[in-house]
Structure 1
Amino acid sequence: MDICALLNNYLGAMFPKWGWETRIYLFLDGYYAHTYLYFAWTSGICQAMCISVLATNRLSAIIFPNRHHHIWSTQRLRIAYAIQFLPGMMAGMATLFDKTQLYRNSKNGVIPKFRNEALVTYFFLIAGAFLTVVCIYLIFAYCYLLFVLRMNTKMIKNSAFQKSRNQIKKKEMKLFIMSSITVAIQIAALCLFVSYATSILVISLDKFYLLYNAISDLYAGINPYLLWIFSDSLRKYILIRIGFRKKKKGPSSSVLTVVVH
């Protein structure tokens, strides 16, 4: 979904805005406009649902440690996939009921827009309410995770387990940084939607999509780097797969053969 968001932002918004291959976009006309707006709204909602499902996965590991593997088994992953994609696809389908139009800008580029301004405001209010719920849930989930990790750290008082305590502190700091960055991006998107829908931020729809695409690109591109920086197991696996690190082999057992004459 992150790759889809990046491609849609550049092929559907930035390139036509810069005046690249304008004839193709004008030829496609409404098909291009509806396709771009559909994937723009779909990818935004799906990205929010993806990080919510990820937070739920981490939260369930703390609340239900014994049942976590069963909850997230292969058979139940279909539910997680549906939660991640169905709301976004439904939100995107709502954009198909409004007529679109291509506008020319000063750079001889084209900009897709909805014709019904009242319906656009309605879309933004719904998106703002949805992102508000997502942000509140993410803040609650990650605060609870950090609280549990902090309590586990305090429970390890014996010096013999100092190494385990240091490891928990390290994981706590990594989780705090990752969650802070993720929530900050979602709050930035929320503030943009709310300020535009309530006319606090008075800008054209063209500039709004420019800011939104920047936030979407940041969110879509930062996840792999966060995983690479903060996930030791994933980084180790990738290094082994590309040959920069050798896989540790377990101790091999030797068999002694005794020949009796």
Structure 2
Amino acid sequence: MVELRTVLAFVSSFFGLTTTVVNLLILIAIFGPRRAYYRSHFFYVIYMVGVLIDIVALANCHLLALLPSKGLFLDTFLSSTKLGRLFLFLAWSSRTCQGFTNFFIALNRVTAIVAPIWSQSSIRGLCFTVQFGVGIGVGLVAAVLNVYWCNTSADSWYIQFYDTPSTHLFFDYVFALITFFSMLTIAAYAVLIFNFQSDSRKSVRRSASDQNDREVKNEQSLVYIAICVCTMETMYYVMYCYGFIMNANFQLNLETIYVSYFLFTDLYSGVPPYLLLLFSTPIRQDVKRILSPLMNGVVRRIDNKVTPLSTDEDQV
């Protein structure tokens, strides 16, 4: 079991590092020459904010939670609960903000079908204000609750909440918040499924040029992304119910909860950039453009090393 956790930790860290690089490439693409196009499509603005939050969530998970769980830098971590509280603040606030991001993505696709509203800057500003306001608020509450460092096995340490009424009240509040927005997200998911085929047929009939056809395909791809993200949101809702509501008396193994948290954070924060690369043609083209000079440089270096060797063989 210990060896399995070690392997999972290594795979998790490698995936987190790779995903962070992919996220940075996507941010460079969004802020690149085609940034005016991305800004005009609020879907990409939402996704850009989500990518930044995902990077914070991954860094927080692997630096402030995974390290003490592996017995690393224990003198620094165990000297007080400050780093543990920082982890809780970033974990709960980033997760709340991610939930809003996923809801906004689904809402953006639904309103694109029903009634476009995202052109109004006031609505955009209100969305992000609510997102970060609620997210930071949830994170602050998590950080000020009574916590302690719990030693589960050998040198594995995890920050843990004390089993108090205020802790349960906090879990219940977050559960109500997640339930509300998960239901809205699932409802948006259902509307997308219901309208997708008929909307696609109408869009195809209206396409009178290759440019229109490309635009239709891009819109369809954004719907696919929204559906995948909504599915992950549903999975998280189930996991939260199991870990924080069914575990009302803290009877579940803390290490099991944290291992599940590590894996799900990697999945939840790591899948969106790959979905964007898979389904969004503009993003895929821009990332290829960014990587092209690097790949060409690698090929030239290989050619420079191989060419002299070939010349020597020809002389022999």
* TM-score above 0.5, yes or no: yes
1:227 equivalent among 266, 269, 276 = 276
* 2:152 partner amino acid: N
Match of 2:188 among 132, 141, 145: 141
| Structure whose CA Rg is larger | 1
The answer for the alignment partner of 2:111 in structure 1 is 60
1:38 partnered with 2:85: no
Q: 1:214 aligns with which of 258, 263, 267?
A: 263
Equivalent position amino acid for 2:197 in 1 = R
AA at the equivalent of 2:61: N
Q: 1:12 is matched with which residue? A: 64
Where does structure 2 lack aligned partners over 5 or more consecutive residues?
1-52, 294-316
Q: By how many angstroms is 1:206 displaced?
A: 3.4
Structure 1 unaligned segments of length 5 or more: list them.
Answer: 245-261
8 Å Cα contact 1:131-1:186 kept in structure 2:
no
Report the TM-score, using the length of structure 2 for normalisation. 0.65
Residues paired across the two proteins, number: 238
AA of the residue aligned to 1:127: V
1:213–1:119 Cα change, 3 Å: farther
SS in 1 for 2:112: helix
* 1:1-261 correspondence to structure 2 within 5 Å: 1-27=53-79, 29-65=80-116, 68-69=118-119, 71=120, 73=121, 76-155=123-202, 172=220, 174=221, 177-196=224-243, 197-199=245-247, 202-243=251-292
Q: CA deviation at 1:175?
A: 5.0
Q: Which amino acid counterpart does residue 65 of structure 2 have in structure 1?
A: A
Whichever structure has more helix as a proportion of its residues is 2
**Aligned-partner residue type, residue 20 of structure 1:** L
Residue 188 of structure 1 and its aligned partner are, at CA, apart by 2.0
Matched-pair contact (CA < 8 Å) for 1:149–1:168: no
The 1:135/1:198 distance shift into structure 2, 3 A limit, reads same
- Counterpart in 1 of 2:296? none
> CA–CA distance in 2 between the matches of 1:59 and 1:118?
39
1:54 partner amino acid: I
Question: Does the 8 Å contact 1:22/1:109 carry over to 2?
Answer: no
What are the Cα deviations for residues 204-253 of structure 1, in whole angstroms up to 9, with x where unaligned?
23321321232122111111101010011221233234447xxxxxxxxx
Tell whether the 8 Å contact from 1:185 to 1:215 is kept in structure 2 after alignment: no
Cα separation, 1, equivalents of 2:142 and 2:223: 36
Q: 1:198 corresponds to which letter in structure 2?
A: M
Residue aligned with 2:149, SS:
strand
Question: C-alpha displacement at 1:76, in angstroms?
Answer: 4.8
Deviation (angstroms), 1:156: 6.9
% identical equivalent positions: 23
Identify which range, 81-90 or 96-105, moves more after superposition.
Answer: 96-105
* Distance in 1, Cα, partners of 2:225 & 2:130: 22
TM value normalised by structure 1: 0.77
Change (3 A) 1:119 1:205: farther
Change (3 A) 1:60 1:26: same
* SS of alignment partner, residue 186 of structure 2: helix
Partner of 1:255: none
Separation in 2, partners of 1:237, 1:107: 47
Q: 1:34 to 1:161 in 2, by over 3 A?
A: same
